[in-house]
Amino acid sequence: MKINGVSIENTFAEAFPMKATRIIITAANDTWADHAGRAMTGFATSVIACGCEAGIERVLKPNETPDGRPGISVLMFSMSTKELGKQIQNRVGQCVLTCPTTACYSGLDDGDPIALGKNLRYFGDGYQISKKLGNTRFWRVPVMDGEFVCEEDARVIKAIGGGNFIILAETQEQALAASERAITAMRRVPNVIMPFPGGVVRSGSKVGSKYKALPASTNDLFCPTLKGLVDSKLRSDVGAVLEIVIDGLDAASIIRATAAGVRAACVAGQKRGIIGISAGNYGGNLGPYHFKLREILR
């Protein structure tokens, strides 16, 4: 299979079960909603060391938010409900509660409840008050610019992490340009995030290392500088490789994001240095979700 002369390898991305939530942050204007969203999703690229994977899903218009103000939709993923709860409390408490004019709400209607404002209310030191609208409880916490309004619970659902595809190019510049095109297209797809900086990762990893303390290490088979030292998966003309990792609330969303991203990455074609598209897997032994590139792109 080829797209604009770019070879699509007959392989698959191997993904695994995760737990996820959607948090809605609103503020007096887009600038402060963005500040809170970016702070909350910082240091959240990989559960290997960050505790969660998180990112801004999209910007929300006032008519899409619970309080009619500008907002940001954030998706957070972790390996367990317990760890996700810890990450929600720490990140909302340190990055949203602290940010001027913000409020915080659950972005999911279904799923298991998990504490949001239920624990953060104690920052009010006894002056916090609650209000129930329908079946939903909100907390109003006094802060120095007024009140921080926060829904009592968020919702946690089953999700998928680790969807991916890999761009093989002649040069770093060409690989980066293709990756940027892919991310622009993928950000139009709902229910997914690409958690690495700018959505792109250069340090793709494999499971394990020759150093016993490391659970993961560099994916040497895709490192251009190691072609002469390992059983490389790269052709001689591949000079740079970049990976895009996708976390999604469901398999269908990851499939849509993968298709959009790969097609956008291949726009330049082989004549402009995009040589191939591959994917990262572990032989099918790590995760139960196998996203087959050629099937997705047919």
User: CATH says 18-157 is which class?
Assistant: alpha beta
DSSP per residue over 178-200, as a string? HHHHHHHHHTTSTTEE--SGGG-
pLDDT for 9 beyond 90:
yes
Question: pTM of the entire structure?
Answer: 0.95
What pLDDT is attached to residue 134? 93
Residue 93, both tokens: 């408490």
Residue 292, both tokens: 């087959």
pLDDT in tens, 190-202: 999 999 999 999 9
Provide the 8-state DSSP code for 201: B
Provide the 10 A C-beta neighbour count for residue 69: 20
What pLDDT is attached to residue 281? 92
Residue 137 binned pLDDT confidence (cut-offs 50, 70, 90): very high
Provide the 8-state DSSP code for 141: E
Q: How far apart are alpha carbons 76 and 248 in whole angstroms? A: 10
Residue 240: strand pairing partners: 169
Provide the CATH number for the domain formed by 2-14+160-297 in this structure.
3.30.70.520
What pLDDT is attached to residue 283? 85
Is-contact 123 141, C-beta < 8 A?
A: yes
Q: Which of 97, 105, 104 is nearest to 145 (CA)?
A: 97
Q: How far apart are alpha carbons 282 and 38 in whole angstroms? A: 32
Give every CB contact of residue 292 below 8 A, 6+ residues apart in sequence.
Answer: 11, 12
Could you tell me how far CA 259 lies from the centroid of its own chain? 17
Q: How far apart are alpha carbons 150 and 138 in whole angstroms? A: 6
* Segment (H or E) for 253: helix 251-265
Residue 282 binned pLDDT confidence (cut-offs 50, 70, 90): confident
Q: Where in the chain is the domain with CATH 3.30.70.520?
A: 2-14+160-297, 18-157
Residue 68, both tokens: 């009619």
* CB-based burial, 218-253: b 16+ in 10 Å, e otherwise: ebbbbbbeebeeeebbbeeebbbbbbbbbbbbeeeb
What pLDDT is attached to residue 264? 98
Residue 286 binned pLDDT confidence (cut-offs 50, 70, 90): confident
Greater confidence (283 vs 235) lies with: 235
What pLDDT is attached to residue 284? 87
pLDDT for 168 beyond 90:
yes
Give percent of the chain with pLDDT exceeding 90: 97
pLDDT in tens, 85-113: 999 999 999 999 999 999 999 999 999 99
pLDDT in tens, 53-84: 999 999 999 999 999 999 999 999 999 999 99
Mean of pLDDT values over 280-297: 93
pLDDT for 6 beyond 90:
yes
Q: How far apart are alpha carbons 197 and 219 in whole angstroms? A: 18
Matching residue, tokens 């659902």: 157
What pLDDT is attached to residue 192? 98
Residue 207 binned pLDDT confidence (cut-offs 50, 70, 90): confident
